[in-house]
A and B are shown apart, each in its own frame.
Chain A
Amino acid sequence: MSEPPPGKLEVQPSLKAGSIGFTDSLSIGLNATSPAYSLAAVLGPIVVLVGVYAPGVLLASFVPMLLIASAFYYLNRVDQDCGTTFSWVTRAMGPWFGWMGGWAIAMTGVLVVGSLAEVGVRFTLLMFGRDEWASNQAVLLPLTIALVVLMTWLCVRGTESSARLQKVLSLAQVGALLIFAGVALYLGLSGQGAPDAPAPSLEWLNPFGAGGAALTAGLLLGVFAYWGWESAVNLNEETTDSKDTPGKAAIVSTLLLLVTYVGTAIAVICYAGPTFLEDNAGDEEQIFAVLADQAMGGWSWIVLLAVATSAIASTQTTIIPASRTALSMARRGALPAVFGRISPQHRTPSVSTWVVAAIATVWFVGLSLISENALYDSLTALSLLIAFYYALTGLACAIYYRRHLLDDVKSFLLIGLGPVVGAVLLVWLLVISVIDMSDPANAYGGQSWFGLGPPLVIGIVLFGLGLVFTIASRLSGSRYWSERPGVVPDTALAEHEERT
């Protein structure tokens, strides 16, 4: 028997490795997108912004997403680094872009936690019939903070629900939404909806129907709705066929999302009609719940429960990657070493997890106190960051693969043209949105900060902070900054060919 070596021991693989298959990947992709939460959060604002064209806007937002999905799929094939965008962009475009992409990802993860917890709390209250509490900030805010603390504690303890429960929940969530859509559509079509409810028309699928600033604001929220599905691609080493399963699951889950989103949007408009939606424009965060109550009657708890579980589960699954990113940065010397501390018995990054929760809470409380439309403002600001890092990923894909784009037609379309078009669409959306938001006349709810729309101010501040941290890291001279951009190594491609 040999002496144990000092320092790190060898790790033996588990017998159960390789047990994650297609349906697990699919369920994890759905969970990460959290369709019930996303719809509850953005459907109200989108219909208020673009009216009957909401289905078209949701459809249009899907186009750049699908193109970027292709980029995630192909980058994952040659570089299965769990850092995803951060790692890929660094390899293709160098450390400056890599850092900013990584920063955008980390911030979106941290900042969405408060909103997730708030929706989770609100829909739980609604489910128990406490409607008056659900619109009372004095009740909502403390409960939201309590939920963030509870979920963080569970993350630090390393508590996780079983894979089977997660699978059931993710499918039940989509099922509940489809039932809701079906009931609302039936009521609307059979004339039991609002008196002025319009008959469904193909025109609703025209994303450009609304036009102008409302359109870009709606599209940006649509981007948010599809955000997160790439998590299925991030499940790397241990999937049964590591290189193909995650990508396929990501694409199937996106298609499933598309059907659910567009279907629900059509049903809601067909049932509620434009008058109701305009009347409730001030309470856009309540629209989804109110409609669920009206359409489903005594059965509305099915929809409310789906939203509540989806949002609460996502709170936990969002804290985990954000804290891991902080840990990983600390280990590269980019953050103080204390962020790298882990709890040995629980095998979790305890310090960085609590820090993520603290930032998320401070952010959410602060925004709730100063903004009139906290939910809308934070989601729109997040969407700006998401569009940015998705666009970077799309470009990185074409740049990293630049020597292989002309290999065949499929490569050219799926690795080169598609991701680049997706990136260009997102950059275009980003630029137009920034121009729109810099005009106070377009400010949602009429509020403006320094003559700019609040989401734009938030976005600028976050970007500025990102730059400051990037420069600080550059000055610290960590070894990360000596990385140079390159191209796909032939060995990585050959390795893939061998496996398929």
Chain B
Amino acid sequence: MTLVVGYDGGESASAALDAAIALATALDEPLVVVCGVSPPGGLGEEYDALEEAVVEELSPVVVAGVARARAAGATAEPLLVDASPVDALLTAAVERKARMIIVGYGSAGRIRAALFGAVSHKVLDESDIPVLVVP
């Protein structure tokens, strides 16, 4: 059993990571720090070049997140998934047989969430396991 947390270096993701680290150490569960790297806007020309750039950009961010968890005494590993942030969390949860997904609420207010869709809302909608949304 593991805990899965979404992390991309953003402010809200950082709060989620802190909560996830606290839970992981308290429950003595391994933590998977997940980040979806597939760019929005569908496939098409030069998709691969963009995804490569995203992976290069986000790899150190996720590694830093993992380091933060380990420094706090948790067992943690990074996981980049070739998917949107939402699908990355869901994929990771299934693959690692996670017992909980932890995700930041995002900067999404009600209006922004309605317009753009918030990762936290979509994960709640599609997940089969408990989701902890961190404000």
In the complex, what residues of A have CB within 8 A of residue B63's CB? 4, 6, 9
Cβ proximity bits A79-99 to B, threshold 8 Å, 1 near / 0 not: 001111000000000000000
In the complex formed, the residue of B with least CB distance to A325 is B46
In the complex formed, the residue of B with least CB distance to A85 is B45
Q: A9-B55, A11-B37, A346-B40 are in contact. Are A82 and B77 (CB under 8 A)?
A: no
Tell me, yes or no, whether B109 is within 8 Å of chain A by CB. Answer: no
Q: How far is the CA of A11 from the CA of B48 in the complex (A)?
A: 13
In the complex formed, the residue of A with least CB distance to B65 is A4
A158 touches B81 (CB 8 A): no
In the complex formed, the residue of A with least CB distance to B41 is A320
A9 touches B78 (CB 8 A): yes
In the complex, what residues of A have CB within 8 A of residue B10's CB? 344-345
Cβ proximity bits A5-34 to B, threshold 8 Å, 1 near / 0 not: 011111111111100100000001000000
Tell me, yes or no, whether A306 is within 8 Å of chain B by CB. Answer: no
In the complex, what residues of A have CB within 8 A of residue B45's CB? 82-84, 231, 234, 321, 324-325
In the complex formed, the residue of B with least CB distance to A2 is B77
In the complex, what residues of B have CB within 8 A of residue A159's CB? 40, 115-116
In the complex, what residues of B have CB within 8 A of residue A11's CB? 37, 55, 80-82
User: Nearest Cβ in chain B — how far from A295, in angstroms?
Assistant: 35
B55 touches A8 (CB 8 A): yes
A347 touches B87 (CB 8 A): no
B43 touches A327 (CB 8 A): no
In the complex formed, the residue of B with least CB distance to A10 is B80
Q: How far is the CA of A14 from the CA of B63 in the complex (A)?
A: 20
B39 touches A331 (CB 8 A): no
Cβ proximity bits B52-64 to A, threshold 8 Å, 1 near / 0 not: 1111111111110
Tell me, yes or no, whether A443 is within 8 Å of chain B by CB. Answer: no
A324 touches B50 (CB 8 A): yes
Tell me, yes or no, whether B120 is within 8 Å of chain A by CB. Answer: no
Tell me, yes or no, whether A459 is within 8 Å of chain B by CB. Answer: no
Which of under 10, 10 to 19, 20 to 34, or 35 or more describes the interface residues of B? 35 or more
B49 touches A13 (CB 8 A): no
Q: Which of A344-401 contact B (CB under 8 A)?
A: 344-349
Q: How far is the CA of A379 from the CA of B75 in the complex (A)?
A: 59
In the complex formed, the residue of B with least CB distance to A1 is B77
Tell me, yes or no, whether A104 is within 8 Å of chain B by CB. Answer: no
User: Nearest Cβ in chain B — how far from A286, in angstroms?
Assistant: 33
A348 touches B8 (CB 8 A): no
Q: Which of B19-27, B88-96, B127-135 interfaces with chain A?
A: B88-96
Tell me, yes or no, whether B100 is within 8 Å of chain A by CB. Answer: no
B87 touches A158 (CB 8 A): no
In the complex, what residues of B have CB within 8 A of residue A9's CB? 55, 59, 62-63, 78, 80
Q: Which of B30-49 contact A (CB under 8 A)?
A: 30, 36-49
Counting chain B CB atoms within 10 Å of each CB, the highest count among A14, A84, A237, A340 belongs to A14
Q: How far is the CA of A236 from the CA of B51 in the complex (A)?
A: 14
In the complex, what residues of A have CB within 8 A of residue B116's CB? 157, 159
User: Nearest Cβ in chain A — how far from B21, in angstroms?
Assistant: 16
Tell me, yes or no, whether B66 is within 8 Å of chain A by CB. Answer: yes
Q: How far is the CA of A25 from the CA of B94 in the complex (A)?
A: 28
- Total inter-chain residue pairs, C-beta < 8 Å: 148
B90 touches A348 (CB 8 A): no
In the complex, what residues of A have CB within 8 A of residue B50's CB? 324, 327-328, 342, 347-349
* Residue in B49, B54, B88 whose beta carbon sits within 8 Å of that of A14 in the complex: B88
In the complex, what residues of B have CB within 8 A of residue A344's CB? 8-10, 54, 57-58, 61
Q: Which of A174-232 contact B (CB under 8 A)?
A: 231
Tell me, yes or no, whether B83 is within 8 Å of chain A by CB. Answer: yes
A348 touches B40 (CB 8 A): yes
* Residue in B8, B79, B90 whose beta carbon sits within 8 Å of that of A15 in the complex: B90
In the complex, what residues of B have CB within 8 A of residue A231's CB? 44-45
A236 touches B9 (CB 8 A): no
In the complex, what residues of A have CB within 8 A of residue B30's CB? 1
Q: How far is the CA of A84 from the CA of B80 in the complex (A)?
A: 27
Q: How far is the CA of A236 from the CA of B48 in the complex (A)?
A: 10
A12 touches B82 (CB 8 A): yes
In the complex, what residues of A have CB within 8 A of residue B55's CB? 8-9, 11
Counting chain A CB atoms within 10 Å of each CB, the highest count among B53, B58, B59 belongs to B53
In the complex, what residues of B have CB within 8 A of residue A17's CB? 82-83
Cβ proximity bits A303-340 to B, threshold 8 Å, 1 near / 0 not: 00000000000000100110011011001000000001
B8 touches A345 (CB 8 A): yes
* Residue in B47, B49, B62, B81 whose beta carbon sits within 8 Å of that of A12 in the complex: B81
Q: A9-B63, A331-B53 are in contact. Are A238 and B87 (CB under 8 A)?
A: no
In the complex formed, the residue of B with least CB distance to A346 is B40
B78 touches A4 (CB 8 A): yes
Tell me, yes or no, whether A52 is within 8 Å of chain B by CB. Answer: no
In the complex formed, the residue of A with least CB distance to B59 is A9
20 contacts between A and B (CB under 8 A): A1-B30, A2-B77, A8-B59, A11-B81, A15-B90, A15-B95, A81-B48, A82-B47, A157-B116, A158-B39, A231-B45, A234-B44, A238-B43, A324-B47, A324-B49, A331-B49, A344-B57, A345-B8, A346-B40, A348-B41
Sample of 4 further A-B pairs with CB below 8 A, known A236-B47, A324-B46: A8-B56, A12-B80, A12-B95, A324-B49
Q: Which 3 A-B pairs have the closest CB atoms?
A: A14-B83, A158-B40, A328-B49
